[in-house]
Amino acid sequence: MGRLQARTVAADSDADLLALLPDPEPVFSWVHGGEGLVGWGEAARIEVKGADRFAEAERWWADLVAAADVEDAVGLPGTGLVAFVSMSFADEPGSSVVIVPKVVVGRRDGVTWRTELRDDDEPFAPAVQPVRRVRVTRYSEGRLSVTDYRKAVAGAVERMRAGELAKVVLAHDLIAETDSPLDQRFLLRNLADRYPSCWVFAVDGLIGATPEMLLRKTGETVESRVLAGTAWPGAGESAESRLSSAKNRSEHEFAIRSLADTLRPYCTELHVPETPSVLRLPNVAHLASDVTGRLDPDTTAGPGALLRLGHAVHPTAAVGGTPRTEAVALIAELEAMDRGRYAGPVGWIDADGDGELGIALRCAELRGSLVRLFAGCGIVSGSDPDAEVREAAAKMLPIRDALEAT
């Protein structure tokens, strides 16, 4: 690969960003409420594994930024050289990726731009083909079946009642097969239409609509949306009343404390709400807290700043548990499966170290005609295994509904 050349220009188009994605793949997405970034093609990529994956990705990105020629006529976060990021949940196994698309189209506060990256003189402009619809032919158990998931939850509750840890987040998976290879744009469009308040993402075959922002960095400002505590209406009881339970409140408290404790050393100021709000989605409702802070410029400078912060805070108690080390070990023991990049940081980063990293939730891993869905629940000592199975099923509805849309 030659020296990367990136050129960003303003664009007049107010077209739907997802409608710009061409075929064939790969395609990339980070879209929320009609704004964000989409991209296609690959100009550069790195795959990293292990405990040093964030640091390796940060070094690679910094080197790439230093060597690139960039012309940026817009000058907003997300213009110039941009990479899409998807990190694995655990150190081992699992592979993480950072990818620079050949073309990125973005929109922020009503301003639209287009960035082209190439190492030659040829433009990259594949035609936009009609989205291919698919039909789900069957569902089957994943690597951790519903029965085994129920047993894993019961085992975790027993360990917590014995005092080994306070919270753990356990997940299981489900396999869907389609009648033809799945067009990623089909899933993205259906998710965006149904969940406009979520961040609809696509990075290297991982597709989803996450309601949870792990970190947003803009200059010296950092923001995070923490979700923990889930409910849905049922048996004559509202989701809001269920969210007020001691189980949901304690689960949320663990998550917000985890985020604040790991982020605070990088900040000169950090503001944490005293009480959570309620985030309502079509399938579930969550307790939500929006954290804001001012970063210490001495410790958060450089192109890889967001990756460095992501390494510090991941995994929070919202997707791992508390204490962190014990929870991650118990996840590996009880799930006995590779989560891959499910529940890992996903999003984008630019050459200034700004960007957004969500948590890869409500998502699926695509491989041709096979779709692997994931869902997880926060488990505390008062959790009921049957209720957690129902909650996980509710959290799979976004992908299932998107797959089955007509």
Q: Is 116 a catalytic residue?
A: no
Q: Which one, of 40, 47, 118, 39, lies nearest residue 79 by Cα?
A: 39
Query: CB-hemisphere CA count at 13 Å for 365?
Result: 18
The single residue of 167, 217, 247, 395 carrying the catalytic annotation is 167
Q: Which one, of 203, 167, 141, 199, lies nearest residue 361 by Cα?
A: 199
The single residue of 25, 212, 251, 356 carrying the catalytic annotation is 212
Q: Is 212 a catalytic residue?
A: yes
Catalytic site positions: 167, 212
